Structure 1
Amino acid sequence: MNHSDRKILSVTCYGHFLSHCNMLVFPAILLPLSSRLGLGMAETLELGFWMYLLFGITALPWGLLSDRFGARPLLALFYVGAGVSALASGFFIDDPQILRWTLAGIGLFSGIYHPAGLGWIACCVSRTSTGMAYNGMFGNFGLATGPLLAGLINWLWGAQAVYVAVGLLNLAGIVFLVQVRTESQKKQTSHNSTNSSASWLGFGVLLVAMMLGGIVYRGTTVTLPSLFELKGQGIYTTLSSLLPGTLSGNVVATVITSGLYLVGMLGQFAGGRVGERFDLRRGYLAFHLVTIPLAFVIGRVTDVPLVLLATAHSFFLLGMQPIENTLVARLTPPGLHSSAYGMKFVLTFGIGALAVKLVHLVESSRGLAAVYPVLGLVSILLVLTIGVLIRATPQLSPSRHG
């Protein structure tokens, strides 16, 4: 990669890290926050509904604005808006009604990242699949660091300090952004000036697949910390007997979740390599296909088997993202990349936010473990949709340039 590629990726990778960190601190402190507010777990989870919904449904207008004004000013708005909203969440942590809307602000401004950041990579980074892989790995680092930071800070200083820290991390993003010259975002590399693979029919089918994937992704990420805390009591008991001092079940669960997402970074790297070596569509199918049997078993096991199966599930569920993002770049015209990613994330995160309602419904009636077989059924529909994608599009040969 050249100097311009590395500068762009320094901004987009940090932004990807933050966008997921912003979303994952909430489920990581779900049970302690429920206790602090005097609410049930399902009621507390619903406080985050607007955060997750706005994170997704604003992606298309943010993408249109990014295509019109460029990624750089949109990412500046992301860092400042999400930072201020997180600080407000810390200040109003004990008022559920105000907290609901400060969390919504985090989702609103965090929704800028994916259409703006991924559109910038698709437009201007010379090796799209590799750029998407590195960017995805930092997103996974955010998935890992979010629960870990939230769990440790909550343990030491409480939930209020969690959101103060998140706010400061977001505001620090401006430091990365000012190091990239404005003209870097306008540089269209020659290999992306045309796109012979563009297919709106194929992209439409891909949108359906990504919508279903968004439901599985969100349903998994909002429940894993609590699932580990509730069904990992054997691990907690063992660690408590080995380590001196007071160790909370929440800290153990969030550390396990963080480790799981760090392993998921290897999945992102593997997905990037697959995207450069094999037909993108078939690689996409293979990664999702593996998640199905894992989803049906996760809810039935406890302790170490639970951790191992959940790690494998996340490896493939997260590892397919560089392939998916390269498919978006290959099936849409270059001048509409940010808008195309906006459409993607309206469905994957906006419609995916319905997974919060789905989790609430299933958890209230059947228990938390029953969520995962339901997500497995959604993954079956997803794999069938990818089959339609393969029939509707020509072979998308691997390319070092996305």
Structure 2
Amino acid sequence: MGLNTNDRSIAGFTMAGHSLVHWFETSIPIFLVVWLAEFDVSLLVLGLVLAPSYGLFGFGALPAGVLADRFGPKRLILLCLAGMSAAFVLIAGAAYVDSIYAIAFGLLLWGLAASVYHPAGLALISTGVEERGTVFAWHGIAGNIGIALGPFVAATLLIFLEWQYVAAILAIPGFIAAVYGLQADFDATAAVEDNVDASSDDALTLDDFLSNSRTLFASAFAVVFVIVTFEGLFYRGMLTYLPEILHGLPVMEGIDIGAGLEGIEPADYIYVGLLVVGMAGQYAGGKLTDRFAAERGLMVIFSILALLALVFVPVSSIGLVPLLALCGVIGFFLFAIQPFYQEAVAVYTPADTRGLSYGYTYLGEFGLGSASIAAGGFVLGSFELVYFFAMLSGFALIGAALSIGLHVAVSHRQSTTTDASA
């Protein structure tokens, strides 16, 4: 079944927003390599500088979800796009005061603006789109396009330009997308039967917020929230430090890129390749949510990610080709898992609190998940590389165990319901 006009309009708008959130997000680790040299700070210090901005990216999602339920998602997404672009202009300007703390301030502003997107964008898809699985898949692919293009463009431009000019150039597409979004026209509640008003200006009281939150966490969503948090710990730790880890691998030292290509860092493009493969993972995961229960997909992919993290160090020591293959597989499954937890939220939450639900979801994913930045910086600075990947594997194993528990609980509840109705 093809997408109807409303579905296509929402898909286009949210795909633009999703791609740009991650365009900015994944360009930051490329700048991390430059900032380490530019400001003469340790990896631990820079990790502590980056962690609050990525943390705000997640923790800001909760109030953003509340605002999405009250004012409607379109307004918030437009503010997100303009705010992220303005933040990168400020980051570019921070070069002229030569302070890592000025960079930190700009990153905090980016984190605040970026935090708005996921609860607003996913709430819009879940309440406005009929073909939800298909749009989740395309939405995920758009995110991965941004995830891949952000570091690719940043790494390529850094060959020719100073980092501050690169940061300013990266801001331009966000402003263009905000202008495009102003003319987007769609029904944000076309896919729900209930009379859900996604743009109500009625004030949300503290009692309403607490009541809705208690309802959510008294359901299976409580387990989904913890599952997402451990996925976020794995995701954020992997993507933040992988460029720097790749730069430091012995296998990268022997790569001869040829005359005329000086300045190109092969490690950066391996990282980009991993993110490109993630597009296929997003699409596959999105389509499979229509065929398999979300909790079943989660437990399988978490188990695979745990294994991939454990074998990273031994495989990377074999040679370049095994490393490339491993990075491709990691990229596929790192992003294939995301449509499954997004679908789990849609399945286990009511439509009229969907913004709040995704707010909590991305508080776990990007807020609590950002703790792996500080933890990863400490582990990488104090221990051998294998301990960093053992930490990531532990996060994935806990996620797998929780997913198995959710699967068992849901199966038991369905069996009990069937017996009672017999």
TM-score for both structures, normalised by structure 1 = 0.91
* 1:188 is the counterpart of 2:190: yes
**CA pair 189-246 structure 1, distance change in 2 beyond 3 A:** closer
Aligned partners of 1:63 and 1:338 also within 8 Å: yes
Counterpart-to-counterpart distance in 2, 1:29 and 1:331: 39
Deviations 1:106-161 (A, max 9, x none): 01101110000010000101111111111111111111111111111122102112
Counterpart-to-counterpart distance in 2, 1:45 and 1:151: 20
Q: Secondary structure of the residue that 1:126 maps to in structure 2?
A: coil
Task: Give 1:191 shift.
Answer: 5.9
**Alignment-derived partner of residue 139 in structure 2:** 135
Equivalent of residue 220 in structure 2, options 202, 207, 212:
202
* 1:216 is the counterpart of 2:234: yes
* 1:313 is the counterpart of 2:330: yes
**Alignment-derived partner of residue 299 in structure 2:** 285
Counterpart-to-counterpart distance in 2, 1:103 and 1:185: 33
Question: Which amino acid is 1:385 matched to?
Answer: L
Deviations 1:268-312 (A, max 9, x none): 111112111122221221122111111101123333322221221
Counterpart-to-counterpart distance in 2, 1:131 and 1:200: 29
Q: Relative to structure 2, which stretch is displaced further, 170-179 or 201-210?
A: 170-179
**Alignment-derived partner of residue 336 in structure 1:** 353
5 Å-filtered alignment, 1:252-267, equals: 252-267=266-281
Sequence identity, in percent? Answer: 28
Counterpart-to-counterpart distance in 1, 2:101 and 2:350: 43
Question: Which amino acid is 1:360 matched to?
Answer: G
**Alignment-derived partner of residue 365 in structure 1:** 382
**Alignment-derived partner of residue 38 in structure 1:** 40
**CA pair 125-238 structure 1, distance change in 2 beyond 3 A:** same
**CA pair 191-259 structure 1, distance change in 2 beyond 3 A:** farther
Task: Give 1:214 shift.
Answer: 0.4
* 1:355 is the counterpart of 2:372: yes
Counterpart-to-counterpart distance in 1, 2:72 and 2:145: 26
Report which of the two structures shows the higher radius of gyration computed on alpha carbons. Answer: 2
Q: Secondary structure of the residue that 1:300 maps to in structure 2?
A: helix
5 Å-filtered alignment, 1:159-170, equals: 159-170=163-174
TM-score for both structures, normalised by structure 2 = 0.87
Counterpart-to-counterpart distance in 2, 1:31 and 1:369: 21
Q: Secondary structure of the residue that 1:180 maps to in structure 2?
A: coil
Residues paired across the two proteins, number? 388
5 Å-filtered alignment, 1:34-113, equals: 34-93=36-95, 94-113=98-117
* Structure 1 gap ranges (5+): 398-402
* 1:245 is the counterpart of 2:247: no
Counterpart-to-counterpart distance in 2, 1:280 and 1:20: 24
Aligned partners of 2:246 and 2:252 also within 8 Å: no
Question: Which amino acid is 2:167 matched to?
Answer: Y
Q: Secondary structure of the residue that 1:299 maps to in structure 2?
A: helix
Counterpart-to-counterpart distance in 2, 1:9 and 1:38: 43
* Structure 2 gap ranges (5+): 197-215, 415-422
**Alignment-derived partner of residue 311 in structure 2:** 297
Query: Pairwise CA RMSD of aligned residues?
Result: 2.0
Deviations 1:43-62 (A, max 9, x none): 22322122101000010100
Q: Relative to structure 2, which stretch is displaced further, 220-229 or 41-50?
A: 41-50
Task: Give 1:341 shift.
Answer: 0.4
Counterpart-to-counterpart distance in 2, 1:247 and 1:117: 41
